[in-house]
Chain A
Amino acid sequence: MNAEVKMMRTAAETQYADALGSLPATGAIRDLRAKALSDFIEKGLPHRRVEEWKYTDLRVLMREMAPLADRPDASAIAEAKKNGVLANIGAREITFVNGAFAAELSNLKGLEKGLSISTLADALAKDPMLPQLLAGLNPSKYDAVYALNTAALNEGVVIDVAAGAQITKPIHIRHIVTGTKPVSVFGRVFVKAGKKSQATIVQSHSGPDAVAYQTNTVLQLSVADDAELDVVRVQAEGDKAIHLSMMIGAAGAKSRFRSFTLTTGASVSRHTVPFAFAGKDIRASISGATLLRHKQHADMTLEVDHALPGGESRELFKTVLDDETKGVFQGLIIVRPDAQKTDGRMMSAALLLGESAEMDNKPELEIFADDVQCAHGATTGALDDDLMFYLRARGIPKKEAESLLIQSFFGEAIEQIENEKIRDAVMLRAGKWLAERSVK
């Protein structure tokens, strides 16, 4: 007899299998999709007994799959036009509305020399090797979010920065959801940063409040030797949305990578970052600020994998938890036997504002090399009474005093953003969150 207990399929699992199984199959990615779907059907959604998902039980948090979104009509496009975030950062905008590429809201004209931007469909038609490239950035083990994203693979964008190209204008990929009906949207972005190239990618997710839509989005980054890539993500989904995302990166020798994620949206969100140091002397910084209110649940899970010597990684995450929110930070730094002289530092700090807010911090080191410098820390605390008193003794009212201290707390993470305009825009959004806060 088989001792393993086969779990009952949830409604969501059945709905995914049916909906994604009936998508029309398309040429080059047909096999990729079929394989991903059969993996999903076999392994399903993760639950709390799956170690990496211990604090975010998707089987429970996502009972049903929302129906696949229809192609956006004129009114959806009109709505999206009004509703994007980070409008004033001087970026080239590429827009997806309800998961579908919206040419009307995208600017593919006058691309800088060395920059190529294609829809996933066009890129697949042009480049028969693309499916292999994408698969080269698979997570190391089964991940339901990735499997579903691949099983639904259809819409997306491929950004190719040629070797040596210096693209100064940021490229902003906007994923906007519209309407009042819960829908499922999928998105895939692949960025290939060539040798010695330089580029800045911004990715934002936004949508209506009070609609239980579901986003599944995967960003794959291939950073070649000596390249410099900056990524800024803003997750500002509507307050009832479920947002599942991954940023999968592999960096080559002497490359420089920086990423920052601002999380303010969704009722449930999970962002997973597997990042591979696949060359020597890489410097990477992965940071984020997460601002939660009401009953939001946000999970940030990193796996930074140093395979070769001389890598430097810095991870700084700040989580502000108001009301009855729950935050999760899982950060794993792996240093493989060849990765001597690795210098890894990871910090997750949480600020609890709400009495029933909760933070689960799980920093981990797995070190197999002997000549390394690695440190991690995790702190959870409330606002400091003495600091509050000092500010208030100077006439600053409670809410403003709290705002100053909260802003100084998350500001340290936002400071990591290199591009000043983007940094200011992110700070402004975070400031808006503060302004909307009600003091108890």
Chain B
Amino acid sequence: MALLEVRNLQARVEDKEILRGLDLTVKAGEVHAIMGPNGSGKSTLSYVLAGKSDYEVTGGTATLEGEDLLELEPDERAAKGLFLAFQYPIEIPGVASMTFLRTAVNAVRKKRGDEELSTPDFLRFVREKAKELNIHQDMLKRPVNVGFSGGEKKRNEILQMSLLEPKMCVLDETDSGLDIDALKIVADGVNRLRAKNRGFLVITHYQRLLDHIVPDVVHVMAKGKIVRTGGPELAHELEAKGYAAYENAA
């Protein structure tokens, strides 16, 4: 059974059709990349999978390990193992990072039937993962994402991903706004999580991220659909030729 199975997915926001019959299958252990011009609906796909309420699904299905995702609340999807690293992580003033992380980790552990982590165990866990991602303890003393640079916000997304131990990771332009060092840290973080029971959907505009996170499959998305699928070489072709052909295609 596929890990993530999306069939003929259609969705709109504010009466605007954005996803127009999208098909996608990600098997456990695979890394898929989605590339495509701005406005093609990549973020919309990630939001629809994660359950953002502004997006109305008008047709099709999406399942995680055979279970209907679209029926579930966003937190239930996260507990089932779906994780979205946001393109634009938002600041949450007044909510301490550690409180947030601990609430999230224990909420999903509880839903998955695991024991909640004790305070010392949790702190050890966070420290270890934060260190791998070069996230300073001072950052974690601040409210969630408040005063973080663009790169720090993206690293914080990967930290959350590491802590929540998802099955299916969707990364929405995690590379945007990162310099090359930060990009490497993020890519290493993702690569460490690659596992045979875990799948990735890496949304990116540029192939440079894919030099570090080498995908098994590359898709091109245009006007709300997957219009082409190939191997890693497809990313290089797009880098060379641009998206012009696809902006008119679909």
Contact = CB atoms under 8 A, between A and B. Distances in A.
Contact of A408 (B77, B78, B95, B104): B95
B111 interface: yes
Contact of B78 (A392, A407, A412): A392
Contact of B95 (A389, A392, A405): A405
Contact of B86 (A387, A390, A398): A390
A386 B145 CA distance: 14
Contacts of A386: 90
Contact of A397 (B86, B94, B107): B107
Contact of A385 (B51, B53, B79, B100): B53
A393 interface: yes
B177 interface: no
Given A404-B95, A408-B95, A393 B74 contact: yes
Nearest to A385: B53
A400 B51 contact: no
Interface in A381-399: 385-387, 389-398
Interface in B84-129: 84, 86, 89-90, 92-95, 99-100, 103-104, 107-108, 111
A431 to B, nearest CB: 12
A74 B69 CA distance: 62
Interface string A221-241: 000000000000000000000
A399 to B, nearest CB: 10
A393 B87 CA distance: 13
Contacts of A390: 86, 89-90, 92
Interface string A400-424: 1100110111011000000000000
> For A385, A393, A405, which residue has the most chain B Cβ atoms within 10 angstroms?
A393
Contacts, number: 75
Nearest to A389: B52
Contacts of B86: 390, 393
Contacts of A393: 50-52, 74-75, 77-78, 84, 86
A408 B94 contact: yes
A392 B73 contact: yes
A389 B53 contact: yes
Interface string A2-31: 000000000000000000000000000000
Nearest to A386: B90
A412 B92 CA distance: 13
Given A397-B75, A404-B99, A412 B94 contact: yes
Given A390-B86, A395-B111, A409 B164 contact: no
Contacts of A396: 75, 103-104, 107
B143 interface: yes
> For B75, B108, B143, B164, which residue has the most chain A Cβ atoms within 10 angstroms?
B75
Nearest to B80: A395
Contacts of A385: 53-54
B92 A395 contact: no
Contacts of B50: 389, 393
A398 B99 contact: no
Contacts of A400: 103, 107
B40 interface: no
A408 B96 CA distance: 9
B204 interface: no
B160 interface: yes
A409 B143 CA distance: 13
B90 A395 contact: no
Given A387-B92, A404-B100, 8 more contacts: A386-B90, A391-B100, A393-B52, A394-B107, A395-B104, A396-B75, A397-B73, A411-B94
14 contacts: A387-B92, A390-B86, A390-B90, A393-B50, A393-B52, A393-B77, A394-B100, A394-B104, A394-B160, A395-B108, A396-B75, A396-B104, A408-B93, A408-B94
The 9 closest A-B pairs by CB, nearest first: A408-B94, A395-B78, A395-B108, A394-B104, A392-B74, A392-B75, A395-B107, A408-B95, A397-B75
